[in-house]
Structure 1
Amino acid sequence: MSAGLASTCAVRYWFRGAEVWVGVRNIAPATVNGWTLSWVMPTSQPVLAIWNAALVSQTGGIVIVRDLGWDAELVSPKTMCPPR
């Protein structure tokens, strides 16, 4: 994860998959311009859809996403995609 950021996660499992909500929050005293987030999930669970982020890669269970440009700037404190 980019420096100065914290994340939260909410997972709702359902038949043959899961819905994962990940929140990104600027905890640094200054504005963050551009962010990247990674997490590990079971290798048998591919990312099928993603909103408000760009999927950079999914290798095995390691997933990496980044901002889309329009959501790159996180003014302190600001949350992007808060979990449900």
Structure 2
Amino acid sequence: MLPAADERRLFEELQELLAATVEDLSTQEVRLDSSLKDDLGVDSLALLELVAAIEDKWQIQVPMEEAEQLGTVRQIITHLGTVTTPAGEAS
């Protein structure tokens, strides 16, 4: 489990990334338990763009099979917490 400060930092960074990636989405609309598809309107193309942006920002690889299993903002944060160091760099 991530320390609260790390989870908050990842959440804020992910809010910005989602707002920059998904058309007509603001950071205020992104909640920790938001469903990517149902709440945020992330379709298959937006998911590809989001995965590419996550890979670029955190210098990690996210196989599409894994990406398709990440249905909420919280699930992405949990995944990032397992593959990044507290400094936010790839482990």
TM-score normalised according to structure 1 size: 0.35
Between Structure 1 and Structure 2, the one with more strand by share is 1
Structure with bigger gyration radius: 1
Between Structure 1 and Structure 2, the one with more helix by share is 2
TM-score normalised according to structure 2 size: 0.33
